[in-house]
Amino acid sequence: MTTLAQKLAPNGPKRILALDGGGIRGALSLGYLKHIEDHLRKQHNNPKLLLSDYFDMIGGTSTGSIIATLLALGWEVDKIREKYFQLGEKIFGRKFKWWKIFEIDDAVKAKYNDEALVTELRNVLGETTLGDQEKIRTALVIVAKRADTNSVWPLNNHPKGKFYDSGHGNNKAIPLWQCVRASAAAPTYFLPQSIEVGGDNSYAAFVDGGVSMANNPALQMLMVATLKGFPYHWRMGEDNILLVSVGTGMTRWKKMPKEIKKSHLLSWAANLPEMFMQDASWQNQQILQWLSHSPTAFHIDSEVEVMKDDILSDDPERKKGLISYLRYNLFIDTKDLNERFKPTKPFTQKDVDNLAAMDNAENCQQLYDLGFKAGEQEILGEHFPSGFKIKS
């Protein structure tokens, strides 16, 4: 089995798994991940292969950071699914009451009490730290955002990182549960998370990594893997890096012009987070398709379409991209779901609005089933080239 040191090293082909944020909709990602795990087990003729055996770097934002951390610790997808469903029921079970808005305390600052979230993360992750070289089997990237400096922080476990163990910081000592809690501190849902980031009792406040361009963390993780400021220094090239990105479902923006004209300040404020998150995700998607000849390319828009004739490459003939790239995600939309899955009982707009909610734990099984069915249709064995097959 490949060691953590070998996975961190710059030599050889590298495989990256990036998981989106999206609250309880992470259950949909797990449906896709189950198929990826099955395909890789079949490719390697190993029914016990774990995603942490295959991928050299695993990371995520918000709910994606929870799943990514468990994968990096060597959990198989079925075990994560079972625990995830339990976590969802406990974490999103108790809302603060609306009348608490008249009370002057922390209860008015977030929709959910984070006690259950912290308790469950500590129960699952214990006191394992970001620098635990024995338990964490891969490069791990947990994307959070530092609220006091308005900067994205990709917390990672490379021992040569600038903030890993130095006068600049001591990231290796941060408990994993705190890293994940910081990444999952979605504004209005949970309070920010404070973490000691220096040896002088210096604390920083973190909010959800999704409140940035990295709710879809794939591009951010590619930068962590390849930019000189980070310690990995992995080589670009479609034979050198395979980037697999898994979403949590996406909705179609269907605001009619008349509705938009009637919008007021409060309605705009309520819609802005989703608008920004969708824009950021599509921008990441467009850039990553520009870097690759992706077999899973999405239709970006009516102007550039799937960008099949566009490639940003150092190859003069544009025959090879700078990465190999796979993106798996589905639209949570009545037309798409009904045409794609042909359910006995068609999805209504009310069903779709319910599934799109990021905090409805009752949707876990249905979201997982949708991701599993979509993975059955989308994920093909040839998506994972033999050049990236791990050596036994």
Q: What is the DSSP string of 103-159?
A: S-SGGGG-SB-THHHHHHHHHHHTT-BTT-TTT--SEEEEEEEETTTTEEEEEE--T
Q: Comparing C-alpha atoms, which of 271, 224, 227, 277 is closest to residue 249?
A: 277
Q: What is the CA radius of gyration of the chain?
A: 21
358 or 162, higher pLDDT: 162
Q: Which residues are catalytic?
A: 62, 208
For residue 41, CA distances in Å to 24, 70, 195, 377 come to: 27, 18, 38, 18
Residue 320 contacts residue 385 (beta carbons within 8 Å): no
| Lowest model confidence (mean pLDDT) among 17-21, 205-209, 385-389 | 205-209
Contacts of 177 (CB under 8 A, 6+ apart): 118, 121, 122, 124, 125, 126
Task: Name the one residue in this structure whose structure tokens are 């899955």.
Answer: 341
Residue 367 contacts residue 332 (beta carbons within 8 Å): no
Q: Report the interhelical angle of 334-341 vs 364-378 (nearest 10°).
A: 60
Residue 70 contacts residue 83 (beta carbons within 8 Å): yes
How far apart (Å, rounded) are the C-alpha atoms in residues 67 and 26? 8
Whether 220 shows a pLDDT value over 90: the answer reads yes
Whether 265 shows a pLDDT value over 90: the answer reads no
Q: How confident is the model at residue 104 (pLDDT cuts 50, 70, 90)?
A: very low
Containing H/E element for 244? Answer: strand 241-246
Residue 238 contacts residue 293 (beta carbons within 8 Å): yes
pLDDT for position 120: 87
Q: Comparing C-alpha atoms, which of 150, 135, 151, 156 is closest to residue 60?
A: 156
- 79-107 mean pLDDT: 66
Whether 264 shows a pLDDT value over 60: the answer reads no
Give 313-357 pLDDT, tens digit per residue.
777 766 789 999 999 999 999 999 999 999 999 999 999 999 988
Six-digit token pair at 299?
Answer: 């239709």
**What does the buried/exposed string (b/e) look like for 38-54 if buried means 16 or more CB atoms within 10 Å of the residue's CB?**
bbbbebbeeeebbbbbb
Superfamily of domain 4-93+110-388: Cytosolic phospholipase A2 catalytic domain (3.40.1090.10)
How far apart (Å, rounded) are the C-alpha atoms in residues 259 and 268? 11
How far apart (Å, rounded) are the C-alpha atoms in residues 193 and 212? 16
How far apart (Å, rounded) are the C-alpha atoms in residues 261 and 272? 15
pTM of the model: 0.90
- 9-28 mean pLDDT: 94
DSSP symbol at 259 = H
How far apart (Å, rounded) are the C-alpha atoms in residues 382 and 230? 31
Residue 136 contacts residue 68 (beta carbons within 8 Å): no
Cα atoms in the 13 Å half-sphere on the side-chain side of 231: 19
Whether 65 shows a pLDDT value over 60: the answer reads yes
Most confident range (mean pLDDT) of 58-67, 109-118, 163-172 is 58-67
Where exactly are the structural domains of the chain? 4-93+110-388
Q: How confident is the model at residue 294 (pLDDT cuts 50, 70, 90)?
A: very high
How far apart (Å, rounded) are the C-alpha atoms in residues 1 and 308? 37
pLDDT for position 209: 55
